[in-house]
Structure formats: C-alpha cells, structure tokens
Structure 1
Amino acid sequence: MLARIMSGAVLGIEAYLVEVEVDISFGLTAFRIVGLPDGAVRESRLRIPSALENAGHEMPQKKITVNLAPADIRKDGTAFDLPMAVGVLAAYGAIPQECQSFKLEEYLLVGELNLNGEVRSIRGALSLAVMARDEGLRGIILPQENAAEAAVVSDIEVIGVRHLKEVTAYIRGELALEPAVAELRPADDLAPGYRVDFSEVAGQESVKRALEVAAAGGHNVLLIGPPGSGKSMLAKRIPTILPGMTFEEALETTKIYSVTGQLGSDEGLILRRPFRGPHHTISDVGLVGGGSGMPRPGEVSLAHNGVLFLDEVPEFRRNALEVMRQPLEDGCVTISRSLMTLNYPANIMLIAAMNPCPCGYFGGSKKKCDCGQEKVRDYRNRISGPLLDRIDIHVEVPAVPYRKLKAAGQGETSAAIQARVQRAREVQRARFAGGSTYANSQMRPSELRAHCKIDAAGHDLMEMVVDRLGMSARAYDRILKVARTVADLEGKANIEASHIAEAIQYRSMDRGLGEANAA
C-alpha cells in the first residue's frame, strides 16, 4: 500500500515542499530511502523501527521503500523522521490517511524522533511554516519546542507535539491538540528595551555624534583609538539607537537564527537588532558562511538587520576580511557549490575597531609610541584599500580624561538619540519610496546624482580634499552619502558646505595615512 505525507526541507533560509512517499510491499524485509538522502536521513531507517515499537506500534516485516521527492535535490537533517514514521503507519493501515475531520495530506509534518518515540526539535521551523502556508496547506505538525517560532506565521494551524503517540492519536481524532498562538507585539512596538545605554559612556561627544550619523544613514564605521578608550563600549550600544525592527525585518532575521538552530524554544520573533562580535581568530567560512555539506550562514548573515562588530580588525585573517567586500557592497552572501548556489541575506551595519598602531599609542599624549613609522604603516595596511573604501565613517576615539570619567552616566540617553535617528530614517524612507533602497548608505549612482546635489562652495571643498588626499571615486561617493545623512539629521533639503566638511572629518583614516607617510 502507498502513503503520501507532506514534509519540507530548508535550502538557504527558504523552505521547499518535499513529498514523502512510503510504499510497503511483499518481499524480503528491507527499509530503503531514495531521493538523495544524506547520512542523517539514511540513519532514519535505524531510528524509526525503535520509535514505532516504543510508541506501541509494530514495524511491518516487509519491503519498505521511501522516496523523497523531488529526488534531484539533496536532503539533509533529521526532520524527515516523523513524516516517514507516520507514512509507514499510514501505508500499512495503522492510522487513516483521511477521516471525517482530518486529511493527512493537508498537513506538513516535520520532526526528529528519539528511539523512545519522543519528537525532538529541528532547524528552520519558521521557514517551513511560511512555506506550508504559501503552499495552501491547512497546518503543520512539528515538535513542541518549535511551536513558538512557527506560530508567528498567520493563517495556518501550528500543532506542537512531544511524542509519536500524540501524533497518531491526533490523526485518529482521539486527542484534541490546540494550535499554538504567538503573542505578537503591535507593529509599532517591536523595539524592546536594552540593558545598556549611551548615557553610560563618559565623554566622547564627537564619537557619539559620528555614531548617530552612522545609525541615521546605515553607514559602516571604523573606530580608531588607544586601548581602554571605549571603542567596544560604544559599539555595543549602537543597536540601542538604531530604528526599531519592522515585522518583515524581524521575520527575516528570525529565519536565519532558526535554520542555524540558535533560536530559543520559547522565542518567537527576534525583536532586537542582532549584535555579533566574532573573535579575530574566526575563519572566512565562519565569518561569511559555507562549510562542507549544506552551506550554513556565517556571522555576517547572523548580524543581518543589525550590527557586526569586528574588534582589533587588523588582527583578522586577510582572507576573512577580503571576503567581506561582497556582502558590504551587495547586502547578501552568495555561496556557490557544484550542485547549488545559495544566497544568504547580510544587510549589516559594520563597526570595526582598531588601535592606531601595534602598541596602541601612536599620536597620543599619555604614553609614547615606540612602533616607528614603518610598523605603523604596515599595521594599518593590514586593512586593504578596497575594504577601507567600503567603510563610510572613520573616527578617532581618544583616551577619556578623568574629569569626564567622573561624569559617567550623565550623558544623553539612547532614547533621545534614537528619536533623531528615526526622524532621519523617515525622511529617507519617503525619499526612496517605491524602490529597494531604504537608507542613504545604499544609494546607487543614479540616486546620488538625484539626491546629493551640492553648491559651488561644496564643489570647491570637495575638489581641494580629493586632490590633496588622493581619495578614490568610491571614497568620494561615501563622503556625499554621509553629507546627505548629516543634512537629513538637521532637517535640510539641500547639502551645504558645512555638511560636506563634517563628512570629510569622518575620513580620519585617509588623513591619518597621509600624516603617517609625511612623518
């Protein structure tokens, strides 16, 4: 007898429908799985018999063939345990495929089985629930631990189960299971409080201003300063001044954490903008994604719609930094394999931090730098020019004097800064309405020409600086984008010379290299 069960698999962060066909026929006892299963899927034929027996069912001693269609896409993971077990039961008549109030083909089934029949959590439940809804299915039956994230999807029944016995009883109509319900906040209240605040940062007013500009326009930032000046402290508070996440952003970010298995069992949507701070020993695969088998998202994608903080950026491997160039430019990571090409979203705000030299005290007044010009130049050259050009704002973070340290906790709050950032973002949203651009940092050349017109005084200032510092065309574009953001924060429709002057001040790395070479 043949049974057909609807299931699904995740490719990248999106799911696709998989039909689990189970055929039981006379012949030598065997359990075969076809349809390009990986090792974890093939091992299901060892888990399922024990799970069925411990759930009170007999494993038929016949020839069992399971086909996972479409058969030309490789299947990985353990989420097919439950649909295959239910398919075996349906194929030999232990459970009905259709009854008065339930049709098995209207539900998507996913879940890993223990040997005792318990249903364990899986990855990618949110993506699977979205796919089930889009395919017109009535509901999804999945592990109870994944019910909270799947329940975020509306217009579909999400049935959480803990044991195979519950599944069979529910299908037979012997057990009533209430669909999971997500407790969602209103769309305008998706920004919960943070445990840190900008008011805790002593001094550094000019740096705070630069970070406000960065948050308002979605610009990447490089912080340069001696050890202990507060670079990490400042970076960790940037999410507190970014605009609250929209529902669409929260859904896409949650998908990424779901497919990597990093979503808590009681967590539905991720409502806070991610903050990721990988160690400098991370590999390029760990940073941008990849790996053997099915490629997984890296730290760049885990920071999607949030902040990626690279502390001591010159200490990162050259390879790891260079592969950052594509996601910074395109907002996504493309991973190509012989049989597939995956795209992971990576729309991030990059915050990089570094010392001005190997010892950390070049140009400072408190301690003498013993590195020498050559060491300073070699240290800074660890960050390539093309990567540096993709960072809009370079800002120096000086050591904080004692008189400002004692005033810690009395500065402007994150909420006050965020209000100004939000207003600037609303201006940009109206400016780019109807297109894919959402912030000034994403402007394309045509948008730069349309929205970043400058007067004669601005042109004279730009010409003097570009010729003097030998800036690239990309650096010129970055200055215009930052100047546009400064104007937005001030509520000005046109870019003025003062806005360009401030934007030029945020290219301290360009000026610093010139000074170091002239020393």
Structure 2
Amino acid sequence: MALGRALSVSIVGLTGHVVDVEADIALGLPAFTLVGLPDASLAESRDRVRAACSNSGHPLPQRRITVNLSPAALPKAGSGFDLAIAVALLTAQSVLRSPLVQRYVHVGELGLNGRVRPVRGVLPATLAAVRGGYPDVVVPAANEAEARLVPGARVYPMATLADLIRLHGGRPGEIRPEPEQPALIRDPRSASARPERSAGPGDVLVRPQNLADVRTAAPPGPEPDLADVVGQKQARYAIELAAAGGHHLLMMGPPGTGKTLLASRLPGLLPDLDDDAAVEVTAVHSVAGTLDAATGLIRRPPFQNPHHTCTVVSMVGGGSGLPHPGAASLAHRGILFLDEAGEFGSQVLDSLRQPLEHGDLVIHRANGTARFPARFLLVLASNPCPCGFASGKGLNCVCAPNARRRYLSRLSGPLLDRVDLQVDVLPVSRADMAAKEPAESSATVAQRVRQARAVAAERLAGTSWSSNGEVSGSYLRGTLRLPTAVTQDVDRALDDGQLSIRGHDRVLRVAWTISDLAGRQQPDRDDVSRALMLRRRGQVTA
C-alpha cells in the first residue's frame, strides 16, 4: 500500500479552488477517517465510496484509511468529492497509475452501486480547474453538456466508477450483478424538483478570454409583448427608462391596473447578456441547481419573481454550513420583481439595501464566507393600502389611516431612497380602452432601449459601469457635471431636505437616461425636472 492522490474542486461562494485529495492506507484497526474541514454531506462520502468501490469490483481493504483534503483550512462542502476520493484510494491500492491520475480533476457523486451521479456547480468547477491549469476534467455523464460550455476544457463524462477505472488504465474487477435502473434526474427548472444530492455552494468568477466556441442558448420562445398593455403612458415610460438605464422602479396603484402585466414585459426590452455576464449568470444558476445545461449559456437576462412569503435566506442566500445563492443572486444581470411588495416582511425588503448599493452579497457563516454577485434591476409593485384603493381620489378605500401607514411603512425610507423611479399606476379609463391607435410593441421600445444603452456605453467607455444606473455620484459631479442652470431644481430639492445626496445622484442618473432616449448630447433642465418628478410619483410621460 502507498499514498494515493487525486484532484477535485472546492467551491465557496463563486470562487473555485483546486483541492488535493490524499489517501493513505496503513496497518491498524479498520477505520475510515476524512479530514480537511469537510461538511456533513462530504463526511458521508466514506460510506458511499466504500460501497461504490466494492460494487465496482475493488473493495477497500479492512485497514486504517485516512483521506486528507488539502488545503485543510479551506471549507469543503457537498458530495462532488466522491470521485476524487475513490480515485485516490484506488491509486493507493495500485489499481490505478498515479502519474496518469494526477492530470485530471474529478467532480461527481457516487451511488452505492458505483454509478456516477450529477452534482451542482459543474460549470464553475470546470472553470476553476481550467484556470488552475488542469484542462482535463472528469464529470458525471449527466453534467457533460454543462462542463462543455467552458472553453479549453477537455471533458470526460463518466456513467459509472468502472468507466473511470478504465479511463485511468485500470481494470474493473468482478462487478456484483445488479438490475439496471435509470438514474433519476429531475428537471431543475421545475418548482417541485429538489436535487437528489447534497451539493456544495457556489463558484467561480472566471472570465474566459475566448467564448467563440461556447454553445449559446437556443432561441427562447416569444416573450410577453408590451402592446398588450392598455393605456398607462406614465408607467410604460417608466418601464422604458428602467430598461434603458438600469434604474430601479416602484409602481404603486390599486388592483387590476396592470402593474404585474407591465413588469412581466420588462425582460423583453432588455438586450442579451454579453459574454462575461453570460458566463457569470450561468455559473450562479449552476451552483443553485437551476441550470438547464442543454440550452447552453444563459444569454437572456434572468427574471426572478419570489413569493411574498419568502424569507431573508431565500431572498439573499445563506443556509446552514456554507451559504448558497438566493433570489437576489439568481436575478444577477436581470430583474428581481417583488409583486405585492407591501406584503413582504420588512426585514426581507431591507436585506436588499446592500446589493442595491454595491451589486454583490457577502454572506458570513461560522464555516466560511461566500460572495455572490447581485447586480439586478429591482422592480416593486404594491397596492397603496391593505384594501388597495387608496390611490387617486381614494373614495373606495375602507382602510383606517393607521392601517395605511403600517402597510406602507414596510417599504422603508432607506430602501425607497435607492429606487430611482416611483410612479403611480392609476385605473385605465374608457377612453384608453377605446383608443384606435395601437400601443407600441416591445420590439419598437426595445430598439430605442438598445440605442440609448449604446450611447451610454460609449460615454462610459473606460469605466467599470455598463449603464447610467450604475454611475457613481463622484463621476456625475465630476466628469459628467452639468451646468448649475440645468440642475437648479434638483439642487433646490437637496437644499430643502426633500432629497438625500444619494437621491440627488439618482435623479441625475435618470436625467441622463431621459436625454439618451431623446437623442440629446446631455440633459437639459426639463430632463432633470422630469427625472425629479418621476422620483416623487408625479405624472410624467415621454
């Protein structure tokens, strides 16, 4: 017996680390010890690996077995280390040849019968392996399509441990006959699906230099069209501004006025993700187990619509052990829509303040810290009171004044201070319904959005920002400083205490987007005043 080694990947947040798996088989009382900061699901790999090796024709000896996961100070989680542990043990028994084995990184879970089962986070794990100089990656057969999305990776899909033994030059022993049963793989997009296995948290922020040979997603089905919305010129204009500049939006109005309808049309106005953003978004969904790898990289901005009963953990991520991504990270580079925002818990809503400001989430737990990207466009839709009819004249509202205040107080001042556009969505009139001129389609508005974004991208070239909604206040007051005659209305609101300095900056961001949509070189006083009105739920149209 000798020391066996193999390689795997540990994923913490969105950072992948290549892990050296060492196995030692020595004389002594039979025992199987796993060290190197494993979590509970990883510690259970001892029984899975022992049974899988036995049922693949190479039972482990009844001796003292020690498996070390190095670096020992790095937290390890999930069942994706099973393959590497099995390979290291078989190498220690001289079943496999050590020099050949150490070229490969192994990611996958083992079933008791020796089958290789799929795991989460294969895309970021493969990215980490390639980045670490190990392009040969062994993955479960069910994860093959996901791993092949990574340029430069040489992927070896495995259905059983016996197949892996053959790959590494070994010969499977006498395998115990068992009835063949297809592996259960549930559709991760189904709300009722739950992963069969416990998997590690997150992954890697690797941006490959060349994505030319990466498969992209198949053309999506038709998205809801903005032409379906009757009337609502004010809200339609706000939706267009939100898409063109990446501005957060609050729509408030009574039930049935079209708030949800408008929000569902917003994804159709956004352009496709660029290469870096597509890789990053796909990695997050891979870690969360919601990726359909058969469609390739996620090119369309994601749309997340959590129910108002969700918890803080489900919104921003977390959980026991190492944190996992929540709805805010799954909406990265897309839209996070909170319907019935007044029904969400105040703690859930306020937990979004950090990602709205910084574009990422840093979650601390006893076992480690994880960082997830969370640069999303927040869209809030809310009734003005519990009964919903306090908007406009409010003649039908039956809520007591205290009930109204309690309802709206869930949308805290610090949260609303980060929302650029705040508009009232009032009931549609008969005149709107009788209008003969058809409403603009999503394709028409999306074309204006693309043009406005192209203008903003040219202006922001050389910076780290991709839209007006991300520009810092110092840049607005420096490089993009506007004349005092143009900003006098918003400056007066700041002096009067009606706006914070953050609110002042956000008004200017919206003014630049208004200007870009109108084809002007820079905002004029009317653009700034219009942006200010849109922040106060004033009635403004294009």
When normalised by structure 1's length, the TM-score is 0.90
Report if aligned partners of 2:25, 2:92 keep a CA contact under 8 Å in 1.
yes
Give the alignment of 1:242-253 within 5 angstroms.
Answer: 242-253=270-281
Gaps of 5+ in 1: 176-180, 513-519
Shift in Å at residue 234 of structure 1? 0.9
Shift in Å at residue 8 of structure 1? 0.9
Q: Secondary structure at the match of 1:172?
A: coil
Instruction: Establish whether residue 158 from structure 1 lines up as the match of residue 155 from structure 2.
Output: yes
Instruction: Establish whether residue 62 from structure 1 lines up as the match of residue 63 from structure 2.
Output: yes
Instruction: Establish whether residue 130 from structure 1 lines up as the match of residue 131 from structure 2.
Output: no
Task: Tell me which of 254, 272, 275 is aligned to 2:282.
Answer: 254
**Structure 1 residues 119, 410: CA separation in 2 closer, same or farther (over 3 Å shift)?**
farther
- How far apart are the structure 1 equivalents of 2:361 and 2:141? 32
Report the AA paired with residue 127 of structure 1. P
Tell me what 1:228 maps to.
Answer: 256
- How far apart are the structure 1 equivalents of 2:95 and 2:457? 57
* % identical equivalent positions: 41
Shift in Å at residue 282 of structure 1? 1.3
Tell me what 1:326 maps to.
Answer: 354
Give the alignment of 1:418-433 within 5 angstroms.
Answer: 418-433=446-461
- How far apart are the structure 2 equivalents of 1:13 and 1:131? 10
Query: Please, which moves more after superposition, 111-120 or 202-211?
Result: 202-211
Instruction: Establish whether residue 507 from structure 1 lines up as the match of residue 504 from structure 2.
Output: no
- How far apart are the structure 2 equivalents of 1:450 and 1:185? 42
Shift in Å at residue 465 of structure 1? 4.7
Q: Secondary structure at the match of 2:294?
A: coil
Report the AA paired with residue 128 of structure 2. M
- How far apart are the structure 2 equivalents of 1:145 and 1:430? 42
**Structure 1 residues 459, 195: CA separation in 2 closer, same or farther (over 3 Å shift)?**
closer
Instruction: Establish whether residue 218 from structure 1 lines up as the match of residue 246 from structure 2.
Output: yes
**Structure 1 residues 185, 67: CA separation in 2 closer, same or farther (over 3 Å shift)?**
closer
User: 1:55-92: CA deviations, max 9, x gaps?
Assistant: 22232222221111111122211111111112221211
Report the AA paired with residue 384 of structure 1. S
Q: Secondary structure at the match of 1:394?
A: strand
Instruction: Establish whether residue 347 from structure 1 lines up as the match of residue 375 from structure 2.
Output: yes
Shift in Å at residue 374 of structure 1? 4.0
Task: Tell me which of 421, 442, 461 is aligned to 1:393.
Answer: 421
- How far apart are the structure 1 equivalents of 2:436 and 2:478? 43
Report if aligned partners of 1:200, 1:410 keep a CA contact under 8 Å in 2.
no
**Structure 1 residues 174, 418: CA separation in 2 closer, same or farther (over 3 Å shift)?**
farther
Query: Please, which moves more after superposition, 367-376 or 312-321?
Result: 367-376
Instruction: Establish whether residue 33 from structure 1 lines up as the match of residue 61 from structure 2.
Output: no
- How far apart are the structure 1 equivalents of 2:483 and 2:340? 39
Task: Tell me which of 202, 216, 221 is aligned to 2:230.
Answer: 202
Q: Secondary structure at the match of 1:4?
A: strand
User: 1:40-65: CA deviations, max 9, x gaps?
Assistant: 12211111122112222232222221
User: 1:232-291: CA deviations, max 9, x gaps?
Assistant: 111111111112111111110111111121223534312221111111111112111112
- How far apart are the structure 2 equivalents of 1:243 and 1:71? 44
- How far apart are the structure 1 equivalents of 2:488 and 2:86? 74
Shift in Å at residue 119 of structure 1? 0.6
Q: Secondary structure at the match of 1:297?
A: coil
Instruction: Establish whether residue 495 from structure 1 lines up as the match of residue 496 from structure 2.
Output: no
Q: CA RMSD in A?
A: 2.5
Give the alignment of 1:45-444 within 5 angstroms.
Answer: 45-98=46-99, 103-172=100-169, 184=214, 192-264=220-292, 266-364=294-392, 368-402=396-430, 404-405=432-433, 410-444=438-472
Query: Please, which moves more after superposition, 341-350 or 259-268?
Result: 259-268
- How far apart are the structure 1 equivalents of 2:497 and 2:284? 41
Report the AA paired with residue 355 of structure 1. N
Tell me what 2:200 maps to.
Answer: none
Tell me what 1:10 maps to.
Answer: 11
Tell me what 1:515 maps to.
Answer: none
Give the alignment of 1:479-490 within 5 angstroms.
Answer: 479-490=507-518
Report the AA paired with residue 117 of structure 1. G
When normalised by structure 2's length, the TM-score is 0.87
- How far apart are the structure 2 equivalents of 1:42 and 1:487? 58
- How far apart are the structure 2 equivalents of 1:216 and 1:65? 57
Report if aligned partners of 1:201, 1:409 keep a CA contact under 8 Å in 2.
no
Gaps of 5+ in 2: 173-210
